[in-house]
Amino acid sequence: MKKTDLVTREGYNKLKQELDYLWKERRPEITKIVSWAASLGDRSENADYTYNKRILREIDRRVRYLRKRLEILRVVDYNPQQDGKVFFGAWVNIENEDGDTLKFRIVGPDEIYGRKDYISIDSPMARALIKKEVDDEAVVNTPEGAKVWFVNTITYQQDEL
């Protein structure tokens, strides 16, 4: 399944910040260590060289990914017309028939890592909730079968520019 190319302003800024950190700070730091370790001579048995060279490859891989991804991402900013309905960037509080509640924000697939309160716009839950209003029910297809959730609240936070 292809990832959606949407991102919140906050998410875009975090990805850009990560790219800047990796490229301007972390990579030069590791490059110095690799150069120092290479100057010691035999590289085949040099743990510093081998380990840091691997870290350098991982940094380069992530930098390439971020550069390509940032080029194609479309930033979706808050629009007052979204109020009252679930759209991209919404904080949603939902409840099931058993009284269990969940609160999360619907964001792009690049933003969900490290956050338990964010879900991807590509997830079945987000897809079921899009365009729903408070007190609407959303049927989410899961491996265990269809689950019904009720929308309690919908809020939007305006991302900083």
For residue 11, pLDDT over 70 is answered with yes
For residue 110, pLDDT over 70 is answered with yes
83/38 same-domain check: no
Domain edge (last residue) among 75, 98, 113: 75
Q: What pLDDT does residue 154 have?
A: 94
Number of domains in the chain: 2
Q: What pLDDT does residue 44 have?
A: 75
Answer yes or no: is 161 within a domain: no
Spatial CA neighbour of 104 closest among 160, 96, 115, 114: 115
Answer yes or no: is 1 within a domain: no
Domain edge (last residue) among 48, 75, 102: 75
Contact residues for 38 (Cβ-Cβ < 8 A; gap 6+)? 46, 49
- Give per-residue pLDDT as tens, 52-105: 999 999 999 999 999 999 999 999 988 888 888 999 999 999 999 888 999 999
Burial class (CB in 10 A: 0-12, 13-18, 19+), 20: exposed
pTM of the model: 0.83
93/146 same-domain check: yes
What CATH number does the domain containing 137 carry? 3.10.50.30
136/83 same-domain check: yes
Percent of the chain beyond pLDDT 90?
Answer: 70
85/71 same-domain check: no
For residue 61, the enclosing domain spans: 6-75
